[in-house]
Amino acid sequence: MKMKFNKRCICLIFCLIAIVVHAQQIPLKIGGSLPEEVWETPLEVINYTQKTTTLKQDRDKLILLDFWATWCSPCLKNFPYMEKLQEKFGNQIKILPVTTQERSFVEDFFKSQQDKQYNHITSVVNGEIFKKLFPHFGVPYIVWIKDGKLINTTDAEQVTEKAISEILEGDKSSLQTVIQMDRGRPFMLSENFDLEKGTSLMSYSLLTKGKVRAIGSGNWFHREGNVVHGRQMTNISLMEIYKGIMYQIFEGNGDTFGDKRIINLVKNNSDLEIDYTLPETDFQDKMYSIEFIVPVSKAETLYAGMMKMLNEMTDYTATLEKKSTKCLVLKRTSVKDKIATKGGEQLDNFFRPMSVMKNVTFDYLMSALNANSNISPLPVFDETGYNGKIDLELGNITDLTSLKKALNKYDLDLVESERDLNMLFIRDK
C-alpha cells in the first residue's frame, strides 16, 4: 500500500513539473527553447504545394517568423525584400510569413486585382500557435529562432544582410531587441508596479527623443469613463506633439486650431519637424514620444501640464499669445435659416470633388478651412453664433471665390478682417 502511495505521489509530482514547464514556455522568452510539439504541429499554409507544413525540416536553419496582416501596407511592401534575402542566403535561413487571419480571407485578399502581385507568397495562416508563443501588439514583427531557441524579437527594419550574416557566422549581433508595449498601460512603466496592491498611480510623465522600436507611431488616451486624464503620443515630430496638444486646448476654449494659428520663429526647423518623404533612417533621431497622466480630479490640467513639460525639457518654448491677426470671418448675412440640418447620417465630404456637409456643426467647416492653405493662407474665425447642426452642399470648391459664391447661397459670407486671436508662438530658447 505504501509503495502504491509513493508511486502515485511521484506520478503526480512529474505531472505538476510538466505543467509548470509548459506554462513557462508560453509566452516564450529570449533564450528559451521552442516546445517540441511546435516543430511537429501541422501549420496551415497558402500558396504552397500542400495545405499544411511543419517547421521540423527547417530546424537546423536560422528561422525568421515574419508576422504580418492584410491591412498592414508596410508588411506587404516588405515581402519582395524578404524574398531577396531568402534567395541570397538559400538553405541557411527560412523566412516564413505568419498571419493569424483565416485562410479564406487571406486567399480572397491575394486574389484581388490590387494584391495579385503577392499571390505567390507562401504564408502560415490561422497562426495562433505562434501568437501565443510570441505575443505582440502590432505588425510587422520579426521572431528570430536559431538552434531551436528564440534568440531575438525585432521590428522588420532590422532584418538586413548584415544582421543575418552576423548570426550565421556567430559574431556578436547588432540587433536591438523589441518587446512590443501595450498602449493601454503607462509608457515604459515597469510591470512590477502592478504588484503593488496598496499603491495607485497618481501622475506619470515621460519624454523621449529618438525612435522607440517597441511601439508604433500614434496616439492613446487614458480615460476613466468619459474623462480623459492622460495622453500618449509616440514616434512623431515635436511639431506634431505641439499640434495635438493645441487642438485640445483650443477646443476646450471653444476655438479651432490649425496650422494657420502657428507662428514659428525657430531658426532651424530640422529638429522640430520631420520630412516624411525621406527614408525613416534619416529622421529616427528626431522622433519624440511623450506621455502625461494626471489624477482624474485634475483632468483639466492635462494639456497645460504637457506644454509646461515640453517648455522645460526641450530647446524650445511654445506659448499662447493674443495677436491682432488678419483673418477671414464667417458671418451670416440674414436671419433666415437656410442651413439647419434635415437630419440623417453625418457626412463630411468637404474639399472632395463635390463638397457636401450634412448633420454636422460649423466646427467641421472651420477645421477644414484652417487646415487648408490653398483656399486662403488666412485663419478662419466663426462669428455666426450658430450652434445647431447644418447641411451645406457647396459643389466644386477650387478657390476662395468659388467658396464664397457657394456660401452666399446659404446667406453666409467670409469677410476679411482683423481679430485678436490666440496664436501659438514657437521660439528657440
Could you read off the pLDDT of 230-256 as tens digits, one per residue?
999 999 999 999 999 999 999 999 898
Please indicate, yes or no, if residue 1 is contained in any of the structural domains: no
What average pLDDT score do residues 123-127 get? 96
Residue 342: how many CA atoms within 13 Å on its side-chain side?
4
Please indicate, yes or no, if residue 5 is contained in any of the structural domains: no
Q: Assess whether 289 and 337 both reside in one domain.
A: no
How high is the pLDDT of residue 112? Answer: 86
Model confidence at 127: pLDDT above 50:
yes
Please indicate, yes or no, if residue 16 is contained in any of the structural domains: no
How high is the pLDDT of residue 310? Answer: 98
Cα distance between residue 124 and residue 44, in whole Å: 6
Element (DSSP H or E) covering residue 250: helix 238-252
Nine-digit cell at 295? 489624477
Residue type, 406: A
First to last CA, the chain: 85
Please indicate, yes or no, if residue 52 is contained in any of the structural domains: yes
Total number of domains in the chain: 3
Cα distance between residue 148 and residue 32, in whole Å: 9
Residue type, 301: T
Could you read off the pLDDT of 315-358 as tens digits, one per residue?
999 999 999 999 999 999 999 999 999 999 999 998 788 899 99
Q: Domain residues for 294? A: 199-314
Angle at 361 between CA 358 and CA 362, to 5 degrees: 110
Residue 276: how many CA atoms within 13 Å on its side-chain side?
6
Model confidence at 19: pLDDT above 80:
no
Cα distance between residue 178 and residue 271, in whole Å: 25
Please indicate, yes or no, if residue 336 is contained in any of the structural domains: yes
Nine-digit cell at 412? 453666409
Going by C-alpha positions, the residue among 171, 145, 163 that lies closest to residue 89 is: 163
Q: Assess whether 393 and 267 both reside in one domain.
A: no
How high is the pLDDT of residue 119? Answer: 84
How high is the pLDDT of residue 67? Answer: 97
How high is the pLDDT of residue 25? Answer: 56
Q: Assess whether 285 and 351 both reside in one domain.
A: no
Q: Assess whether 149 and 54 both reside in one domain.
A: yes
Of the candidates 295, 314, 333, which is a domain's last residue? 314
Cα distance between residue 172 and residue 151, in whole Å: 12
Q: Between the CA of residue 300 and those of 53, 183, 184, 227, 232, what are the distances in Å?
A: 56, 22, 21, 9, 16
